Amino acid sequence: MPDVHQLTCARLPTLAGDFQLCLYANSLDNKEHLALIMGDISGGEDVLVRVHSECFTGDVLGSLRCDCGDQLLAAMTQIAEAGKGLIIYLRQEGRGIGLLDKLRAYNLQDEGYDTVDANLLLGHQADERNYDVAAAILNDLDVRSVRLLTNNPHKIESLAALGVVINERVPLIPAVTAENAGYLRTKAERLHHLLDLNTRVENERQSGATAHESA
């Protein structure tokens, strides 16, 4: 596990509620990873936690190609509703391939390749993320066990292998749109994310039909 050092924290009021944003240095890479904290989580059991990998296009620009921005906002909202929790924001853009190759992968996706094949064609693995820094930050904050906000079984397995006690998986339900449907399908079919997209799409169709009838 890498060494991590909390450099500073500051109050961060958001639309979801008031958080503390803490900046971490670490011995693994030169990136500045972050912890977004609500409430007193030190020594906490079953703390609601989201380990979120940076997505500039989704988190900042609201890209419809993915569900990353929606996941981040949903995690902040659920933590605010719970009154305490933690989001660890890891600076590993594009499943770890960086922003440059992520944009190149976008172009390949527009040519018909899915997100996995686009990464492979660029010489990367399907997913190059690791969660060592996240485990170290959880240890630094003395979080004893977590309820993990994720649909990704690989993330669960990776954190558990690093000693993180995960007592529950809390799903994040995506909105399926014309722009992200293929992306979500690839997540489910090729990366084995825990997504029931058929049920989700059917529910949204029924909801749309009901709204149309009501109008």
The residues annotated as belonging to the active site are 127, 129
Q: Cβ(132)–Cβ(162) under 8 Å?
A: yes
97-119 CB burial, b ≥16 within 10 A, e <16: beeebbebbbebbeeebbbbbbb
Q: Quote the CA–CA distance of 26 and 5 in Å, as a whole number.
A: 6
**Beta strands across the sheet bearing 47-53:** 4-13, 18-26, 33-38, 85-90, 47-53, 146-149, 166-170
Nearest CA to 96 out of 23, 155, 24 is that of 155
Q: How many CA atoms lie within 13 A of 44 on its CB side?
A: 21
- Cα dihedral 82, 7, 98, 90 in deg (nearest 10): -20
